[in-house]
Structures are given as C-alpha cells and as structure tokens.
Amino acid sequence: MRESAPRGLAAIAGRAIPPPPWQDGDNLPWEDPTFSERVLVEHLSQEHDRASRRQTVIDAQLRFIAARVRPRSGRILDLACGPGLYLHGLAALGHHGRGLDFAPAAIRHARTVAEANVLDCQFEEADLRTADFGEDYDVVLLLFGQLNVFPRPIASDLLARAAAALAPGGTLILEPQLAESVRDTGEGIPTWETLDAGLFSPRPHLLLHEPFWDEASRTATERWHVIELGAGTVDRHAMSTCAWETDELITALREADLEQVEVHSSLASDEDAIATGLFGLTATRAGLP
C-alpha cells in the first residue's frame, strides 16, 4: 500500500501493535512485476542464501532429491519453484520438470534458461492456493520454508493436494522452517536503515522493519515501512509465517494419506551446505510405483 508522506507517517504512528496475524498483509508482493525483478536479482546472487541458495548448496540438495526419483526418467513438480534452479539441475540429469510460482520475473528467467539449454521442463506463473497440480509425479517439492508462509488451513490443503499429485510410490519432499526459527524471527527487535536501493525500492529510502510473535496462533508477523526520501511516499508491506512443530507436520502428512514419513536434519549431506533454520521431511504415497 502506497500513501503520501503525511498520511503514511500517520498510519505508521497509528498502526496496530501487535498486528493480527495475516490481516496486515499476508505475504510480500511476489506477483508485482517490478518487485519480482528485484527479487530475481537476489535469487541469482551467489553472495548469500536469502532468496535462493548458492549453487553449491543447491547441488548438495539435488543429490538428495535425485536419489529419490528413478534414474533419468522421473516426473518432478516443484511448487514455489522460483527461477527454476532445482528443476534446471534435475532436467540436466534427464528428468522432466514442471514448476509453479507466483513471481513473473522468476518464471520468465526459468523459461529462458530451459529454452536456451534445451531442458525438459516447463514453468507456469500460478498461485499455489488455486493452481491445478496435476498428477502422477514421482517427486513433488516444496522447499525453502514456503509451506510456512500460508495459514495453517491453506497449508494443510496444499499438503493434501501435493500428496494427491504423486504417483503411487512417489515422494513428497518438504523443507519447512524450524518452529524455533520462526519464533526467533517474531521475537526479534525492530530495526531501521537508510538504503540507496534495495528489495523494496530502487530509489533512496528509509526502511523500518518490525517483527511480532503471536503465541496463540504460533505465528510471526513482520512489517516493513518504506519511506522514499525523494518522492516522500510511504509503502507498507507485511508477511506472516506459521511455526509448525515437527509432530504437527507428521500428522498432517499422514492425514494426507502419505506414509513412510521421515525427518531429516537437512536436505544436504554436505555439512557446509546445511541451511540454517530449516529441516527436511519426506513421505511416500502408498502403492507400487
């Protein structure tokens, strides 16, 4: 939401503290073309693991994933696929991939790389809450804590639909956020900084960030107030993140008719590639492949 400086500053001063989870804006504007272009830069950076992982980490996780799909002929669905970094690597091993994501710049990049390298994967700009996942996949991926950014009822529905998209004997691979990591985010301290450019604006701005933790719903909510120094406008963004206990997720997977649920400390065997604040879960759809 963008407002003039007087109204925007008044809105900051009069904001609800704490904010009700999911009501102040449930997620960042991934579908906004200009925002998604700035996020794409972060996805492709090899200097950090904030949007997508560095290639060394992705390679380590691809080995974990590839070990759970039949050699050179698997069908893989990547939910919240970003710029396609995982499916590109899996397609190079001979697999077919389909990726769904909300962000137009990420999908454009994923398609461009796939076409340039003649990789057997397709990418669709889609909202996971309403998208048709299809069926008969050997592996379905939902990585990098993306399950946690949905309210629990929607996340449970996503798990059920992801399970239904698997072929008999197929594997769902999740990488949720650790509950304590989500709580640590919500119990963090407010910060502010001045930037020449950044994720929320390509122009000089003051960025105010404040996190909150709601114990009743076990949800962290973050708000960002972006005050553009030249234009004098104020943008506001918010995102809520659920903290799922491991036992809760195991129960949700079993309720989705999945079995052989396994917990993994990481989706990477390389200690240097273990992602902080995340862990892995795998589960199998009943039946013979």
The SS3 of residue 55 is helix
pLDDT score of 49: 81
CB atoms < 10 A from the CB of 212, how many? 23
The type of residue at 34 is T
| Residue 231: per-residue pLDDT | 78
The answer for residues whose C-beta is within 8 angstroms of residue 234's C-beta and 6 or more apart is: 2, 3, 4, 5, 7, 8, 9, 11, 12, 225, 226, 227, 228
Half-sphere exposure for 256 (CA within 13 Å, toward CB): 28
H helix count then E strand count, the chain: 8, 12
Cβ-contact 243, 182 below 8 angstroms: yes
8 Å CB contact between 53 and 62: no
* Cross-strand partners of 285: 258
pLDDT tens for each residue of the chain, 289 residues long = 555 555 667 778 888 889 999 988 778 888 888 999 999 988 888 888 877 888 888 999 999 999 988 777 899 999 999 999 999 999 999 999 999 999 999 999 999 999 999 999 999 999 999 999 999 999 999 999 999 999 999 999 999 999 999 999 999 999 999 999 999 999 999 999 999 999 999 999 999 999 999 999 999 999 999 998 877 788 889 999 999 999 999 999 999 999 999 999 999 866 555 667 999 999 999 877 6
Q: pLDDT at position 51, please?
A: 78
Which residue bears the tokens 């930037």? 195
* Strand-pair category, 191-195 with 205-214: antiparallel
Beta bridge partners of 174: 142, 281
CB 117 within 8 A of CB 96: no
In terms of Cβ atoms closer than 10 Å to its own Cβ (0-12, 13-18, 19+), residue 247 is exposed
- Cα angle 131-162-80, degrees, rounded to a multiple of 5: 60
Tokens for 142, please give them.
Answer: 């939902």
Residue-range domains of the chain with CATH: 2-25+181-242 (no CATH), 33-177+246-285 (3.40.50.150)
